Structure 1
């Protein structure tokens, strides 16, 4: 079994002539973008989840409707040559191989000082951003700085493009004033590099919190109530969070959940043809709802177009809080898409036997309906319904 290198991302977009172009983005010490042809793009897509060359050959054999051994041999030889070249380049690697970590260079290190901040630690060294825990030397308070690091970009054009998205991330996070949503404290620049100043959150992801603590039913109900309050505020402001998953919900030691990271957020009214190129689209595979999940090798998922998609993602988190698991077991993306589309918790005996309040089961079932129209309309509706459940059992 082989897989796509974890340092490669595939993308496609239309050029100024409205022709579709394909790219392989390789994130080493600097981000490099390669323009590739459609054939290479499709071939690489087959290895985004662990796969074998034999299975890929079977796909192409069926796709091309080959009729004789001579055609099959020719195709197999071509694919093998193609495969050998990509493995030599290390674009495709054996499944299970531990890749040497690429060390991105952060702009600052521990104990460095810039502006009026002293760096206490590097919290994140990502592909395009640095995240620092700092002390404000004027107030002596700890803060978090998320900085768009220009050194991680191959050219000025790509840096400017991401600078626009980075400012949008701040604008979305700045819309809210809630203890359940990470508070922004300003948008500034250092040597033409923008950074977002954030309140420090002393917490862990909601999945780690649930695993580390033996929560009573009343505590689970309360945790979810607070989380839903946060998401209801986001939806009331006509914003799609865009990237709901475990790591974007931190839980503090006092049990208060805080929603973070608006890097893939969009305005509800922004999802139109005029702004098509500006809409940001991302997500963690396991949390993509069935209506956004695509079995196509061109794209894995579509953008968020209605609140019910995020209702599904929030529902998965609630499912996890009560079961410490997710309802999908698939090893490959296409199989997972099928599982998502076929999931019917109302007839799932294993789920129905779980020990939890009946109304909680009904709530989760409604969230995870395969048809979006059968789910709650948005997080505000979820919050209103959950308050009724909370009052009954707490």
Structure 2
């Protein structure tokens, strides 16, 4: 089995003559852009998930209705030629190969100063952003700076596209005023480098918090109640968080969860519009709900279009809080999709034998229903129902 190198991003866009062009963007320490033809582009797309050349051969054979031995031989020669060239370039690599992580350059290093800030540490060096822990030299207060690094983009057009989303991320943050959602302290620029200033959250991911602490049932229920209050507020404001998973929920030492990272958030009403490029789509594979998970070679998952998709993701986190596991064991995406689409907790003996209140089991089971319509309508309903559970448990 082979896969596309993690350094490669495939993209297509229309040129000034409105003709579609195809690109392979290689991001190592420097970004290089290669114009490729449509055939190679689609061939590479098949390896965005681990695949074998023989399976790809069968896909092309069916797509082009190839039946004769001669045509099949010609197809095999062409595919083998593509495959050999692309593996030699290391654009396609063995599935089990671990690629050495290439650190992109951040705009600032530790101990650098800019404006009134001194960089205390680099919290994140991501594909398009830098995240710094800084100290204000005037007030001596610490905060977090999330900066859209212009040097990480191949051109001005790409930067401007993400700048729109970056501003939207800030607009989402100012909608909320809750101890359970990360607070923004402003949106500014430094030498045309836009950044969002955030309140520092001193906490660890919810999964690490659960692993590192022996929580009693009442403590678990209290943690879930606070987390649901935050997500209920997000849904009340008609916003899809868009990227719910362990690392986007930090838990402080006092047990207060804080929801962070609205980089993939969308307005509910925007989903119904046809403006391409304004709807963001992302997520951690294990947390993609079954109706969004696609067993396709071209696309791994669809965008969030209903609150019930996020109910499922929140349900997985609650499942983990009470079991310290997720209900999936698959190593590959396709196998995980199959597991998701066959999961039925109401008939799962392993889950049913877990030690937890039956009313909690029922809540988790409803949250993880295969059919979205059978789940809670939103985090608002989850929060309301969980409050009742807490009252009855006490």
Normalising by structure 1, report the TM-score.
0.93
Pair 276,351 (structure 1): closer, same or farther in 2 beyond 3 Å: same
Question: RMSD across aligned C-alpha pairs, in angstroms?
Answer: 2.1
Deviation at 1:163, TM superposition (A): 1.1
Note if contact 1:30-1:153 (Cα within 8 Å) is conserved in structure 2: no
**Do structure 1's residue 341 and structure 2's residue 372 form an aligned pair?**
no
- Matches of 2:338 and 2:197, distance apart in 1: 42
Deviates most, 14-23 or 290-299: 14-23
**Do structure 1's residue 110 and structure 2's residue 114 form an aligned pair?**
no
Aligned residue runs from structure 1 range 30-45, under 5 A? 30-45=30-45
> What does the per-residue CA deviation read over 1:100-158, in whole Å, with 9 as the maximum and x for residues that have no partner?
22121111111111100011011111111111000011111111000011111122221
Unaligned stretches of 5+ residues in structure 2: none
Note if contact 1:127-1:152 (Cα within 8 Å) is conserved in structure 2: yes
SS in 1 for 2:185: strand
> What does the per-residue CA deviation read over 1:75-123, in whole Å, with 9 as the maximum and x for residues that have no partner?
3322221111111221111233232221211111111111000110111
> What does the per-residue CA deviation read over 1:200-223, in whole Å, with 9 as the maximum and x for residues that have no partner?
111111112112222221111111
Note if contact 1:144-1:199 (Cα within 8 Å) is conserved in structure 2: yes
Pair 10,343 (structure 1): closer, same or farther in 2 beyond 3 Å: farther
Pair 272,261 (structure 1): closer, same or farther in 2 beyond 3 Å: same
SS in 1 for 2:385: helix
Pair 162,31 (structure 1): closer, same or farther in 2 beyond 3 Å: farther
**Do structure 1's residue 90 and structure 2's residue 90 form an aligned pair?**
yes
2:267: which partner in 1? 267
- Matches of 2:227 and 2:23, distance apart in 1: 37
Normalising by structure 2, report the TM-score.
0.93
Pair 178,17 (structure 1): closer, same or farther in 2 beyond 3 Å: farther
Pair 298,15 (structure 1): closer, same or farther in 2 beyond 3 Å: farther
Deviation at 1:385, TM superposition (A): 0.6
SS in 1 for 2:277: helix
Note if contact 1:31-1:127 (Cα within 8 Å) is conserved in structure 2: no
Pair 153,277 (structure 1): closer, same or farther in 2 beyond 3 Å: closer
> What does the per-residue CA deviation read over 1:241-276, in whole Å, with 9 as the maximum and x for residues that have no partner?
011111111111111111000011111111133433
Unaligned stretches of 5+ residues in structure 1: none
- Matches of 1:343 and 1:159, distance apart in 2: 41
Pair 366,10 (structure 1): closer, same or farther in 2 beyond 3 Å: farther
**Do structure 1's residue 222 and structure 2's residue 233 form an aligned pair?**
no
- Matches of 2:139 and 2:250, distance apart in 1: 25
1:253: which partner in 2? 253
Note if contact 1:264-1:281 (Cα within 8 Å) is conserved in structure 2: yes
Note if contact 2:48-2:298 (Cα within 8 Å) is conserved in structure 1: no
Note if contact 1:242-1:264 (Cα within 8 Å) is conserved in structure 2: yes
1:201: which partner in 2? 201
Note if contact 1:4-1:92 (Cα within 8 Å) is conserved in structure 2: yes
Pair 12,370 (structure 1): closer, same or farther in 2 beyond 3 Å: farther
Aligned positions, number: 394
1:130: which partner in 2? 130
